[in-house]
Amino acid sequence: MAETAAKIANGQKSMPPLHRQVRWWILAMLFLVTVINFVDRQALAVLGPDITAEFKLSNTDFGTIVSWFRFGMLVGEFPMGMLMDRVGVRFGLAFAVLWWSVGNGLHAMASSIWSFRIFRFWLGTGECGNYSGGNKIVASWFPARERAFAIGVFNSASMVGSFVAAFLIIPIREHFGWRVGFLVPSLLGVFWVLIWWFIYRQPKDHPRLTEAEARHINSDVKTEISEAAPGNWQLLRLPQTWGLMLCRFWVGPVVEFYLYWMPKYFHDVRGLSVKNSAYFNSVTFVFGDIGSVGGGIAAAWLLKKGMEVKSARRSTLLFGAGLCLLSFLVPLTGSVAVAIALISLVLLGHTFLSANMFASVSDVFPNSAVARVTGLTGVANGLSGMIFPIVTGMIVDRFSYLPVFFMAALMPLVGVGLAIVTLKNYQRVEICPTF
C-alpha cells in the first residue's frame, strides 16, 4: 500500500511526456498565428508589382502605403499592450486577430492609393498585438532559461509566413486575380480565433497543466508574484525602457525593407517576373527561420553553460548585428544567386538578434509590464517604420537601392549598441509602486 502511494506521488512529481506538456501547445498556437500575421502582411509585397502597375504608383507612392501600415502599428501598439495586460491575452489576442483579419480582407476592395493607405493603417493597428500578446504569453508559460528559445520559435513564424505567402498567394492571383489574394489569409485568421478561444487559459486556470509542469514554469520565479504592476509613467522614466525602444527603432525597419521591397527590387532591378521574384525571394525567409530559432537555442545553450544573462544576450545580439553588415554587399554583386545568399544571411542575423531583443524585455521587466513595454518598443518601431519606407521610396526614385542597402547594414548595430549601453547588467528593474 505504501509502495503504491509512493509511486502515485512520484508520478505526480514527474514531468509528462513532451507531447502532453501544455506550454508547447500554447507555443504552437503562437507560431501559427504569427504565420498568418505575416502572410497577411506579405500579401502587399507579393502583389506589389501588380498593384503599382494597375494604379500607376511610383516607388515613393508604394513607400507611403507601407508607411501607413507602420503608422497603424504605432497608434495601436500601446493600446494593444494595455489590452493584453489589463484584460488578458485570451480575449486580447483574439480581438487583435479578428481586427486585423477584417482590415486585410478589405484590401480586396481598394480602388485608390488612399484606400490602400487606410486599409494598411487598419491592418497595422491589429497586427501589432501579435508581439505584445505573444511576449506576455511566453513570459507567463516559460521559465527565463527557455524564453529566448520560445520567442525564437514563435518569431521564426514571421519568416515561415513570409515564405508561405508567395506559394499561397501567387496561385490565387494567377487563377482569380490579385484582389482575392487578400481574402484567403483573412479567413485563416478567423479560423485561428475559434480554436484559440476554446483552448487557451492562464497557467493557473488551465485544466490540462500538471503540477510538475507548473513547477517547471515557475522554477525561476522569485519576487515577481508579489510585484505590483508599475504605472505607465514609471515605465517611461526607466532608461531600460528607452534602450529597448531605441533598439527596436533601429532594428525593426531593416527586416521590413527585405520583406516589402525585395520582390520589387528583383522585379525592377534584377529583371525577374512577378512570379519568379516572389519565389526566389521566399528562399531567404528559410534562413530567417534558422536565425530566429538559432538565436534562442544559442542563448539557452550559453545560459546552460553558466554564462550570465548579460553576457549571453550581448553575445547573441552582437553576432546577429554583425551578420546584418553583409547588406553592404547585396547591391554590389552581379549575381542573383549571390544576392539571395547574402540576403539570407542578413535575415538570419536579424532574426537571431531579434529573438534575444524580445527576450530582453522579460529578462528586465516584471510580467505585469511585459506586454506594455513590448508595446512601447513597437511604438518606436512604428515610428521608424513610418519614416523608413518613405525615405526608401524617395531614395530609390531619385538614386538607386544602393544607399538603402548601406543603411540596412548599419542600423541593427546602432540599435544593439544602444540596448547594451542602457540595459547594463540585465538586472531586474526596481519600481516603487507610487502610482
Q: What is the pLDDT of residue 6?
A: 43
Q: What is the pLDDT of residue 435?
A: 41
Q: What is the pLDDT of residue 187?
A: 93
Cell of 424: 547594463
Cell of 166: 508567395
* Eight-class DSSP state of 206: -
CB 18 within 8 A of CB 129: no
From 374, 384, 379, 377, select the one nearest 81 (Cα to Cα).
374
Alpha helices (H) along 88-143? 89-105, 113-127, 129-141
* Eight-class DSSP state of 428: P
Cα distances (Å, whole numbers) of residue 356 to 117, 148, 209: 32, 6, 27
Q: What is the pLDDT of residue 245?
A: 92
- Which residues touch 352 (CB under 8 Å, ≥6 apart)? 291, 292, 294, 295, 298, 316, 319, 320, 323
Instruction: Determine the Cα–Cα distance for residues 212 and 146; give it in Å rounded to an integer.
Output: 16
Q: What is the pLDDT of residue 229?
A: 66
Cell of 357: 531583443
Q: What is the pLDDT of residue 220?
A: 67
Instruction: Determine the Cα–Cα distance for residues 388 and 70; give it in Å rounded to an integer.
Output: 10
CATH superfamily entry for domain 22-200+231-423 = MFS general substrate transporter like domains (1.20.1250.20)
Instruction: Determine the Cα–Cα distance for residues 296 and 314; give it in Å rounded to an integer.
Output: 13
Q: What is the pLDDT of residue 221?
A: 61
Q: What is the pLDDT along the chain (435 residues), one digit of tens a residue?
A: 444 444 434 444 687 887 788 889 999 999 999 999 989 988 888 888 889 888 998 888 888 898 898 888 888 877 888 888 888 889 999 999 999 999 999 999 999 999 999 999 999 999 988 988 888 898 888 887 788 788 778 877 877 888 888 888 989 988 888 899 899 889 999 999 999 999 998 888 888 888 888 888 877 665 444 455 667 788 888 888 899 999 999 998 888 888 778 888 888 888 888 777 777 777 888 888 788 888 888 888 888 888 888 888 889 999 999 999 999 999 999 898 899 999 999 999 998 998 888 888 878 887 777 778 887 887 888 788 888 888 888 898 888 899 999 999 999 999 999 999 998 887 777 765 544
From 258, 255, 262, 266, select the one nearest 336 (Cα to Cα).
266
Q: What is the pLDDT of residue 222?
A: 55
From 414, 281, 404, select the one nearest 347 (Cα to Cα).
281
Which residue type does 406 have?
F
Task: Indicate the pTM of the whole model.
Answer: 0.71
- Which residues touch 116 (CB under 8 Å, ≥6 apart)? 44, 51, 65, 68, 107, 110
Domain ranges of the chain: 22-200+231-423
CB 365 within 8 A of CB 429: yes
Q: What is the pLDDT of residue 92?
A: 93
Q: Is 107 exposed, middle or buried (0-12, 13-18, 19+ CB in 10 A)?
A: buried
